[in-house]
Amino acid sequence: MQSKNVNCRTIELINSLRGKEKIKMLFVCLGNICRSPAAEGVMRRYVEEAGLEERIEVDSAGILSYHQGELPDKRMRVHASRRGLSLTHQSRPVKAADFEDFDVIFAMDDQNVSDLREISPTVEGCDKIVRISDFFTLATTLDYIPDPYYTGAEGFELVLDLLENSCYNILDSLRN
Ligand code: 4NP
């Protein structure tokens, strides 16, 4: 991966997962109705295309419980469906057990990272939190996935472009 945002801790964590029989990854954003369920859908597709469904488990969650039980935002579902993705995740908040259950937790932005650090019951849990932007290789000045909630169509398209790029690189890093 030719990332401009390479972070040594992230590389170490990914290296430690490479030989594992089963890898469980969690994508986290604020509401779990736009960015992280889209990340889950994008990654799920790459995992299926690679025939790795038995080895890699994917889920998503939000910092807030406000949208609990809801499907992803309609706008995100429409934009994702244009790329062949059907998003059926139901929003749920991050829980303490996630830091034990999952091997790696991908945060969409720095606020997610600090919120996740607050929620993690252990230091070991904190060590599983990674910025998804560490995996950006496309031409962008962004170092996070911007919340599209108050934007127009271009915001949702940008999120999907960034997610397709980063999820592809995450899977590539785990396989190489
Ligand atoms: P997300 O977007 O974090 O990408 O799911 C948001 C959706 C809803 C809210 C915030 C962000 N909200 O405050 O309701």
* Residues 73, 155 contacting (CB under 8 angstroms): no
Residue 4 has pLDDT above 70, yes or no: no
Ligand 1 lined by 145 (C-beta under 6 Å):
no
Q: In what order do the strands lie in the sheet with 104-107?
A: 56-62, 23-29, 104-107, 129-131
- pTM here is 0.96
* Residues 34, 155 contacting (CB under 8 angstroms): no
Ligand 1 lined by 32 (C-beta under 6 Å):
yes
Burial of residue 65, with CB atoms counted within 10 A of its CB: 0-12 exposed, 13-18 middle, 19 or more buried: middle
| Cα 28 → chain centroid | 6
The predicted-structure confidence for 9-37, as pLDDT tens digits, reads as follows: 999 999 999 989 999 999 999 999 999 99
Q: Quick one: pLDDT at residue 164? A: 98
Q: How many residues does the chain have?
A: 176
